[in-house]
Chains A and B, each alone.
Chain A
Amino acid sequence: SQELEQSPQSLIVQEGKNLTINCTSSKTLYGLYWYKQKYGEGLIFLMMLQKGGEEKSHEKITAKLDEKKQQSSLHITASQPSHAGIYLCGADINNAGGTSYGKLTFGQGTILTVHP
């Protein structure tokens, strides 16, 4: 969707390296979600960010929300083969009333490969 740009489209890293995936919305965000997906499977919830400047971490994955830029970044520290998969950001767009539309608009995803 052009409303949500995710970069890079693919990423190949050596095990142990750090990496960052970016997600930029063309519209004001009510919330931003990060999911991980194994090929052909469902989405695994990673994090939800709703406030500007918010930062959340889970194990070696950290996500931040820059409200001014309508942008979020997902950072993986010391990557492992278990981190491999497709990372999807989903934007909950702010409606005219300042609340959620109740639907997520997704980027195309970032395919992450981690070589042992």
Chain B
Amino acid sequence: ETGVTQSPTHLIKTRGQQVTLRCSSQSGHNTVSWYQQALGQGPQFIFQYYREEENGRGNFPPRFSGLQFPNYSSELNVNALELDDSALYLCASSWGPRGRYGYTFGSGTRLTVV
């Protein structure tokens, strides 16, 4: 059973640029959620994708967008990067949107905006 894989592991971008982060869900999982974790804080929910549609969103602006593909993998896109977007971005997959059997997290992508 493969776990959740995220790419890239690290990324440095300039303010104003756009970035795409990728996530492959754990085998058998059909739902992907994205979280942002700032330094010293707990992760914050960005949004969830289920059946290729956004299924719930946290308090993040529209420049944070995502996609889910038929194989259940997902992308997180952030436009017009700001310095405060620097964080660890975590992807979590689950069986179903309510995580009946729990949420499995990936190792994250460390994004630095300069």
Contacts and interface: CB of A to CB of B under 8 A. Distances in A.
B98 A109 contact: no
Interface stretch (A14-22, A58-66, A75-83, A100-108): A100-108
Contact of A88 (B33, B42, B104, B110): B42
A104 B45 contact: yes
Nearest to B100: A100
Interface of B: 4, 6, 31, 33, 35, 40-45, 48, 50, 55-56, 58, 88, 90, 92, 97-99, 102-108, 110
Majority SS of interface residues in chain A?
strand
Interface in A29-48: 30-31, 33, 35, 40-45, 48
A100 B98 contact: yes
A42 B103 contact: no
B99 A92 contact: yes
A57 interface: no
Contacts of B105: 35, 42-45
Contacts of B56: 101-103
A100 B6 CA distance: 25
B93 to A, nearest CB: 12
Given A92-B99, A103-B45, A103-B56, 5 more contacts: A43-B92, A44-B105, A100-B98, A102-B48, A107-B42
Contact of A33 (B35, B44, B98, B102): B102
Contacts of B42: 1, 4, 6, 88, 90, 106-109
B102 A100 contact: no
Contacts of A92: 98-99
A26 interface: no
B22 to A, nearest CB: 15
